[in-house]
Amino acid sequence: MDLRLSATVPATAEEREAVDGVLGPPESRWDGGQRTAADAHVAFGGHAARSRRHLLIPVLHAVQERVGWISPGALDYACERLTVPPAEAYGVASFYAMFRTTPSPRTVVHVCDDVACRANGAEALCEQMSKRFGDTPEGAEAARPGSANGSSANGSSANGSSANGTGVISGVTWQRSPCLGQCDRGSAALLQRAGTDRPRIALAPADPDRIRQALTDGLQPMPEPLVPGAGAAIRSDDNKDGAGGPPAPGGSAAPAPRLLARIGTVDPASLASYRAVGGYEMLRRALALGPQGVLREVRDAKLLGRGGAAFPTAVKWEAVAGNPVRPHYVVCNADESEPGTFKDRVLMEHDPYALVEALTIMGYACGAEQGYIYIRGEYPVAEARLAHAIAEARARGFLGDAVAGGGFSFDIEIRRGAGAYIAGEETALINSLEGKRAEPRNKPPFPATHGLFGKPTAVNNVETLLSVLEILRIGGPAYARIGTENSSGTRLWCLCGHVAAPGLYEHEFGATLREVIDTAGGVRDGRPLRAVLLGGAAGAFVGPDGLDMPLTFEAARAAGVTLGSGVVLVLDDTADVPELLRRITQFFRDESCGQCVPCRVGTVRQEELFARLARGEPRGDVATELKLFDDIVSVTRDASICGLGQTAASAVASAAKLGLIPGAAES
């Protein structure tokens, strides 16, 4: 393959600097540097030249954060450095919502208007945004290249004006966004601010004044209370044996949470603080048990994955650990993007060392020397805290060549997602780690045999990994006794929507939906409950008569619903259900990767259908529409490649079953 580059304007010095910041300076003309006499006498290419492809997304992030878009010149330079064909690199850049491939204002405000924020006035916020920042996508300020817009000016905008000839436009634009994972804090926004030292800022609760302030005031860091206040209540359920840890804030009599034990009690920026409450003791215990011992504990604990698919963790780990092919990789899936989910963000922001320790243990058990944390790009605070935690752990010998002084070497790298729900699907995540479009792979083969770089790979969610720490603390059999026969342990529930005290709550499996909602104060303002969206956009609606369902995997399966990622989105009688359903269908259309026909076209047809129903203008009658919908449900569920397509219709289908679709109550 010969690279043929097509940009008419070469990369600017700024863009080159951004790329080189990730890759280091080029060595020769062969990889984008200056031509030297020696270049004529060496050959450059093959696997070695292409082996850094996995750095494409970090490079694109660097360019995006520096200049606000991926210009043809910058893309060409990245391609030269990494020996990636420009068409492929463009395919990657144009896949992720946080990258822009057209000239763009340096500041982009993403305003969440997804299901949870809708309950907190997202529409009203969007209306205000229109008034303040111009009409929807690509606002008025964006349409004025280099405008003397003082209010959006800051230190860096002077060189971001029209003067540099690269098409960079200063100013602000805003756009609607899918769930930003701040559902416990009210309406949420994410600011992308290219060319500044804080290129991403999560803002919640968000309003135009706060956004304006964040854009003008030289950016005071967002207040991140060490102990979450009432707005972000983190509470725990009653806990029978009362082991370990002080009570969580806000919890009434709450003895001891397990997953949330350290939230709000340890300093997320201090390894010493983490160790003071028993941090890194579980790694020592793991090293004492040996890899087989750890696997046995996890197996005895009957731990099922908490990311949504509820796959037995031990099965995954054992398959990787026992595979003779080397190297092995372990990956933490922190790409939490299911609308209404924020549990992993809270864990990573407040207990980052625990994740680092747990992933280290996972690497030890699976025989891996390299771990990755793939974190969604919308979580700058969690990412910064994790990065700090990893650096400190490495400095103290908890990562590196001889972890904890033992004969085991392990290190962790953080990789940042770029705005794609589908990247949370484990094979799509692996493709994204490899620097590709986050398109899911067909299974089989499974990642346990053919994962990252084609090697055996185990991928687990953040909450799953933290559960492993608890398993080691109390022992696998003891953990299995918590909860119910087939659903062991505790689970985090993301309470959001029309609920009195939104937040993250930990309960043992077996608590009923009603108990979980009551712990959070019940429906806001004492209004009657209309429905609960359980498990997120890929989950299912549960009506008021389903509230006594115990929240266990088996009960959910029996009821034909899913616990998904632990979302409990409460909807009161004021909820505009048809509009909510339309938003869910919009979400899946936006987030489908487009690879397989059932999902690519099915999500469009589904959105069109629910748009007709929301307008009260069915084609034919509602019954005809529901017949068509049945067919769409069948093909997306049965024939899609991955879980996104397979569940794209489940929430809306469950709404139809509950009679939440107007004019279709009889179905």
Partner 1 sequence: MTAVFIDTPKRLVDVEIDGVAVRVPEGATLLDACRAQGVDTPTLCYLENLTPVNVCRVCVVEVEGSRTLVPACSRKAEPGMKVRTDSERVRTSRKMVLEFLASSADLSLASADVQRWIRSYGADPSRYGDPAPDHEAGARDAARPGEHEATSGSEAETVKQPVKYDNDSYVRDYSRCILCYKCVEACGEDAQNTFAIALAGRGFDARISTEFDVGLPDSACVYCGNCIGVCPTDALMPASEYHMRQNGTWDESRQTVTTTVCPYCGVGCNLDLHVQDNTIVKVTSPLESDVGHGHLCVKGRFGFEFVQNRATEE
Specify the stretch interacting with partner 1 by CB under 8 A; choose among 44-52, 383-391, 477-485, 608-616: 608-616
Buried b (16+ CB within 10 A) or exposed e, 526-544: eeebbbbbbbbbbbbbbbe
CA pair distance 644, 338, nearest whole angstrom: 10
Largest CA distance in the chain: 80
Token pair belonging to 258: 């397990």
Tell me if 127 contacts partner 1 by CB under 8 A: no
Residue choice 32, 178, 250, 340 for contact with partner 1 (CB under 8 A) = 178
The residue among 180, 207, 48 whose CA lies nearest residue 116 is 180
CB 531 within 8 A of CB 577: yes
Which residue's CB is nearer to partner 1, number 568 or number 609? Answer: 609
User: Is residue 639 involved in binding partner 1 (CB under 8 A)?
Assistant: yes
Q: Is 449 in the site for partner 1 (CB under 8 A)?
A: no
| 574 counts as binding partner 1 under rule CB under 8 A | no
The distance of closest approach from Cβ of residue 109 to partner 1 in the complex, given in angstroms and rounded to an integer, is 14
Binding of partner 1 by 646 (CB under 8 A) = yes
Q: Is there binding between residue 612 and partner 1 (CB under 8 A)?
A: yes
Under rule CB under 8 A, residue 85 binds partner 1: yes
Question: Residue 621 or residue 631: which is nearer to partner 1 going by CB?
Answer: 631
Q: Which is nearer to partner 1, 101 or 128 (CB)?
A: 101
Residue among 233, 239, 269 nearest 256 (CA): 239
Question: Minimum Å distance from CB 121 to partner 1?
Answer: 20
Note whether 75 binds partner 1 by CB under 8 A. yes
DSSP-derived secondary structure letter, 264: T
Alpha-carbon distance of 636 to 111, in angstroms, equals 29
Q: How far is the CB of 542 from partner 1 (least distance, A)?
A: 22
Residue 309 as a binder of partner 1 (CB under 8 A): the answer is: no
With CB under 8 A, what is the number of residues at the site for partner 1?
A: 68
Applying CB under 8 A, among 604, 657, 663, 667 the residue interacting with partner 1 is 604
Q: Quote the least distance from Cβ 166 to partner 1, whole Å.
A: 14
Contact status, residue 133 vs residue 139, Cβ threshold 8 Å:
yes
Site string for partner 1, 227-266 (x = CB under 8 A): ----------------------------------------
Does 641 contact partner 1 by CB under 8 A?
Answer: yes
Of residues 176 and 657, the one with the C-beta less far from partner 1:
176
- Phi, psi for residue 117 in degrees, rounded to 5: -65, -30
Q: Which residue has the tokens 């005071």?
A: 220
List, in sequence order, every residue forming a beta bridge with 596; answer none if it has no partner: none
Query: Got the DSSP string for 384-438?
Result: HHHHHHHHHHHHTTSSBSSGGGSS--BEEEEEE--S-GGGGSHHHHHHHHTTS--
- Neighbour count for residue 66 (Cβ, 10 Å): 24
Give min distance, CB of 327 to partner 1, in A.
Answer: 24
Q: Which amino acid is at 168?
A: V
Interface stretch with partner 1, choices 190-198, 216-224, 263-271, 614-622 (CB under 8 A): 614-622
We find the least distance from the C-beta atom of residue 138 to partner 1, in angstroms, to be 10
For 226, what's the count of Cα atoms within 13 Å in the CB-facing half-sphere?
A: 8
Q: Does 143 bind partner 1 (CB under 8 A)?
A: no
Q: Where are the beta strands (DSSP E) in 326-403?
A: 328-334, 368-375
- Our finding on whether 637 is near partner 1 (CB under 8 A) is yes
Which region among 48-56, 83-91, 221-229, 649-657 touches partner 1 (by CB under 8 A)?
83-91
Q: Which is nearer to partner 1, 102 or 574 (CB)?
A: 102
CB of 100 to partner 1, least distance (A): 7
By beta-carbon proximity to partner 1, the closer residue of 125 and 438 is: 438
CB of 44 to partner 1, least distance (A): 17
Verify binding: residue 453, partner 1, rule CB under 8 A.
no
Q: How large is the C-alpha radius of gyration of the chain?
A: 25
CA pseudo-torsion sign 419, 420, 426, 431: negative
Among 502, 598, 650, 660, binds partner 1 (CB under 8 A): 598
Does 97 help bind partner 1 (rule: CB under 8 A)? yes
Lookup result for tokens 């309003």: 207
Distances (CA, A) of 198 to 50, 105, 121, 340: 31, 16, 27, 26
Please state, as a whole number, how many other Cβ atoms lie within 10 Å of the Cβ of residue 639: 14
Residue 632 lies near partner 1 (rule: CB under 8 A): yes
Phi, psi of 419 (to 5 degrees): 90, 70
The minimum distance between CB 319 and partner 1, in angstroms, equals: 17
Question: Which residues contribute to the site for partner 1 (CB under 8 A)?
Answer: 1-4, 6, 72, 75, 85-91, 94-97, 100-102, 137, 175-176, 178, 419-420, 437, 439, 442, 444, 586, 589-598, 600-605, 607-612, 615, 617, 619, 628, 631-632, 634-635, 637-641, 646
